[in-house]
Amino acid sequence: ESGNTLEFIRKSPTGKIEHWIRPFETKFVDTLWTDISAYVNGNKEYATEKSEFLLERIISSCSSEGMIIADFFGGSGVTAKVAHDLKRKFIHCDVGINSIQTTRDRLIAAGAEFDIYDIQDGVSLFRNPVQTMDKLKSLIIGLKNEDGLDSFWEGAIQDSKLGAVPVYLPNLLDHSTKVLDIPLINRIINEAMPDLPEDTKQVIVYYVDIENKAELKKFISEYNATRINIMLRDLKAVLDHVVINDEIDYRINEAKTGFEIEIKSFISDRLIQKIDAYNQKKSLNGSKNNLLDENGDENGNGKKKRPYIPITISRHGLELIELISLDCTAKDGIWKSDVELKIDKNGYVILNGKKTKEFWNAKIVSENKPLRMKIRNIAGDESVIIFD
């Protein structure tokens, strides 16, 4: 006996040591947190989205108010949102544009203040870098495959004076080749160029970023023992033609309450192509086996599946729009969403982070004069319009 509190240790009927603990109002937490679910938010877009209860317990037990909580694989932003709720500062990182946009929308709904920083590598890409590489080859005038060249070279351009000019392109799937530095140029000079045909007079080396152009040129001048001239070209000038913005027809009117922008039509060639490809794939799968269900799996009941109904887009294409943001503060620099309208999957409007039961009428209204407008389509691609 210790004071007024009874403490003792005993063996259970099975021989296990038990330590008696007096009743508490609070509950002890075991090393296995079976009292809460790891996945409870019900977000079908993120199958591995952690529950806010789980993150609240972790953050509360490991930090204090005002501390910084960082999640470098942020996903849908639950960590950042819970950190904000618990009065912590937060850093959310992710390479996926869908993650950034989902987190952004979540934080706005939670009333958080934050900035978005884009780590620039100087490259504008399609969602699929492989698609960018394929498009890139067609944008370099005269570039064709050359059987006589090593796979290191993307191909060659035929020049009336120089003959075949081999072309090197950095692999956009490999971040280590995007920066042209001395080790890479040394590899080109000493490993790739000696195997070129004897009559080669010039090569073209494209780069995304360059470490130090003056030092590279000095290195080439001092260590290029071949008689082949090396021409350096910036790939960004070519990549600017790869990304095609969506076509937006709009009308802006000045009203008594401010400014009203009406979206007349929205055309996204890339989205249309993706939807067409999806329709073709589903139709093809359906024609192969009439006993497949809508997901392409055998239904096992011997019944024919329902025919696939292709996804169609309206003449104006407004259903392809997910979000519209107006910046009434500046025409350039960091974006400030002074007015923001999001359309959820059921067609309801979320205005400045607040859910409504109103359907979108193809308009967005601002008390102040908008200087630029950003429109995000359902694939996450953004187009920016700067008003005069």
The two tokens of residue 52 are 């806010």
Q: In angstroms, how far is CA 62 from the centroid of its own chain?
A: 30
Judge whether 9-109 and 129-239 match in fold: no
Cα separations (Å) of 274 from 52, 201, 254, 288? 34, 43, 37, 21
Domain boundaries, the chain: 9-109, 129-239, 247-386
Instruction: For the domain made up of 9-109, give the CATH fold.
Output: Rossmann fold (3.40.50)
Instruction: For the domain made up of 129-239, give the CATH fold.
Output: 3.40.1340
Distance, in Å, from the CA atom of 41 to the CA atom of 53, rounded to the nearest integer, reads 9
Distance, in Å, from the CA atom of 274 to the CA atom of 240, rounded to the nearest integer, reads 21
206-235: per-residue pLDDT in tens? 998 888 899 999 999 999 999 899 999 988
The two tokens of residue 261 are 């922008």
308-321: per-residue pLDDT in tens? 889 999 999 999 99
Distance, in Å, from the CA atom of 377 to the CA atom of 383, rounded to the nearest integer, reads 8
Lowest-confidence segment of 156-165, 186-195, 276-285, 332-341 by average pLDDT: 276-285
What pairs with residue 177 in β-bridges? none
Residues 6 or more apart whose Cβ sits within 8 Å of residue 42? none
State the amino acid at position 124 in one-letter form: S
Percent of the chain predicted with pLDDT > 90: 49
For the residues 226-250, what does the mean pLDDT come to? Answer: 83
Residue 112: band (very low, low, confident or very high) from pLDDT cuts 50, 70, 90 = very high
The two tokens of residue 177 are 């080749």
